[in-house]
Amino acid sequence: MLRYALLLLAFSPLAAVAQAVPKPDVPTAAPVVPAAPILPVKSAILIDAETGQVLVEQDADARVEPASITKVLAAYVLFHELRAGRLKLEDPVRISENAFNRGIGGSRMFVNVNSEVSAKDLLLGMIVQSGNDATIALAEHIAGSEQAFADLMNQYAKKIGMSSSNFTNAPGLPEPEHYSTARDIARLSQQVISEFPEYYAWYSTPEFTFNGIQQYNRNALLRRDDSVDGIKTGHTSSAGYCLASSAKRGDMRLIAVVMGSKSEETRAQESQSLLNYGFRFFEAHTLYKAGEELAKPKLWKGETPELALGLANDARIVIPRGKYDQLKAQMDVPSLLIAPVAKGHAVGTVKVLLDGKTVIDRPLVALTEGAEGGLWTRMTDGFWLWFEDEPASP
């Protein structure tokens, strides 16, 4: 199929696309953007929560022990159970001897063996207090055994693209084949925030009291930065101090993951430095809205003479501050578009480049139905198509 590239030049048809990009409401003078902080940790990553764009990474694919950050995946499985109706917040959950005993010596909620505790209290005990006992009790309640629940965790991890992770227990206790990466944990955090905002709110709970014992959320950033509302800490002697954190300032949410820090205080400081760097030196823009008309090529043999093209979803981008005016767009559409074309059918692409690198690559879709025209239209257009080069259908 013959295609043509439209470059973002004043005399090009893509000028219409350029006009569709809103002008930034910030000064266009580019500030000095320093290099990202290099942290004394095993691995780290900073991503935009909405787009998944990586803003900073440091050995983000290195295999590490996730420690109690594992409980974010356990919670993700449980949130799916709640949504499906297979678990209810008021359900009583019996505390087995195994759940009670494995909580001893680590972080725990202080549940009593053979007692019954509501699923909601156990979820809060797992999320706020990082209770190993609460996590194992819920795992056994859902899957019959912790190992079966770990299998469920691995299925969900694979489904959301955690390709470098494997989990052998629910609370994150050290085991040789229990591992993840900073990148996978960031991806998991992104899914929890986007899929379950109603339950994600629990991660900002400052403290939780159960059995007369008050315990505080171990995420120190919740008490230092009002924009931080999650997510989860982790620590073992072999894993070091770990933290997956998230903050929202204005219309931008970032997720920072720090693995293998030296102390509880440094993991908070290192996470804060990543978040501050991202918010200070990056900005988010929605370049094109879903359904916004970006092109209107001729529709041969169509009921209408032209067909509106646009994007099925918003095109959002996070870029270094001051780089907005350096974005360049390219649009690729068929030179000859012939009806019928179904609404939503991909008939081209839009690319946005920064410094020569593609930062957005989305299909252009038909925004309306491109139905065939009447007999006369099809005959006359068919005649004129003999004089066009290489007629093509989408």
pLDDT band at 105 (very low <50, low <70, confident <90, very high): confident
Q: Is residue 226 pLDDT above 50, yes or no? A: yes
Provide the pLDDT for residue 6: 35
To which CATH superfamily is domain 43-261 assigned? DD-peptidase/beta-lactamase superfamily (3.40.710.10)
Taking residues 189-205, report their average pLDDT.
Answer: 98
- State both tokens at 115: 């007692």
pLDDT band at 294 (very low <50, low <70, confident <90, very high): very high
Do residues 116 and 122 make contact, with C-beta atoms less than 8 angstroms apart? no
Q: Is residue 306 pLDDT above 60, yes or no? A: yes
Question: Of 156-160, 286-290, 291-295, 390-394, where does mean pLDDT reach its minimum?
Answer: 390-394
Residues 6+ apart with CB under 8 A from 381: 300, 301, 373
pTM: 0.87
Predicted confidence (pLDDT) per residue in 134-180, tens digit: 999 999 999 999 999 999 999 999 999 999 999 999 999 999 999 99
pLDDT band at 385 (very low <50, low <70, confident <90, very high): confident
Question: Of 103-107, 126-130, 149-153, 178-182, where does mean pLDDT reach its minimum?
Answer: 103-107
- Helix (H) or strand (E) holding 354, with range, is strand 346-354
Which of 202, 198, 160 is closest to 180 using CA atoms?
A: 160
Provide the pLDDT for residue 228: 98
Percent of the chain that is helix, strand, coil (3-state, to 5): 30, 30, 40
Give the residue with greater pLDDT, 16 vs 197: 197
Distances (CA, A) of 390 to 271, 335, 376: 57, 9, 22
Under DSSP, the state recorded for 61 is T
Taking residues 237-247, report their average pLDDT.
Answer: 97
Which of 68, 107, 180, 273 does the annotation list as catalytic? Answer: 68
Provide the pLDDT for residue 3: 34
Distances (CA, A) of 343 to 290, 369, 373: 14, 4, 15
Provide the pLDDT for residue 309: 95
Q: What is the rounded CA–CA span in Å between residue 271 and residue 72? A: 17
Q: What is the rounded CA–CA span in Å between residue 133 and residue 173? A: 12
Residues 6+ apart with CB under 8 A from 326: 354, 355
Question: Of 9-18, 98-107, 133-142, 230-239, where does mean pLDDT reach its minimum?
Answer: 9-18
Residues 6+ apart with CB under 8 A from 58: 36, 38, 39, 41, 43, 44, 45, 182
Task: Quickly tell me which residue has 């290192």 as its tokens.
Answer: 270
Helix (H, G, I), strand (E, B) or coil at 264: helix
Which of 71, 232, 301, 323 does the annotation list as catalytic? Answer: 71
For the chain, the domains span 3-22+286-385, 43-261
pLDDT band at 213 (very low <50, low <70, confident <90, very high): very high
Provide the pLDDT for residue 389: 59
Q: Is-same-fold flag (3-22+286-385; 43-261)?
A: no
Tell me the CB-side half-sphere exposure of residue 249, using CA atoms within 13 A: 17
Cα 88 to its chain centre, rounded Å, is 26
Provide the pLDDT for residue 31: 62
Question: Of 17-31, 101-115, 139-153, 316-330, where does mean pLDDT reach its minimum?
Answer: 17-31
Predicted confidence (pLDDT) per residue in 159-169, tens digit: 999 999 999 99
What share of the chain in percent tops pLDDT 90? 79
Is 130 part of the annotated catalytic residue set? yes
Q: What is the rounded CA–CA span in Å between residue 236 and residue 171? A: 12
Phi, psi of 163 (to 5 degrees): -75, -10
Provide the pLDDT for residue 169: 97
Question: Of 59-73, 249-263, 345-359, where does mean pLDDT reach its minimum?
Answer: 345-359
Do residues 342 and 299 make contact, with C-beta atoms less than 8 angstroms apart? no
Q: Is residue 12 pLDDT above 60, yes or no? A: no
Question: Cα dihedral sign for 132, 136, 137, 142?
Answer: positive
Taking residues 183-206, report their average pLDDT.
Answer: 98
To which CATH superfamily is domain 3-22+286-385 assigned? D-Ala-D-Ala carboxypeptidase, C-terminal domain (2.60.410.10)
- State both tokens at 347: 């008939």
Pairing of strands 357-366, 346-354: antiparallel
Do residues 244 and 232 make contact, with C-beta atoms less than 8 angstroms apart? yes
Which of 43, 96, 107, 130 does the annotation list as catalytic? Answer: 130
Q: Is residue 132 pLDDT above 70, yes or no? A: yes
Provide the pLDDT for residue 374: 82
Q: Is residue 13 pLDDT above 70, yes or no? A: no
Q: What is the rounded CA–CA span in Å between residue 266 and residue 41? A: 10
Inter-axis angle of helices 182-195 and 70-84, to 10 degrees?
30
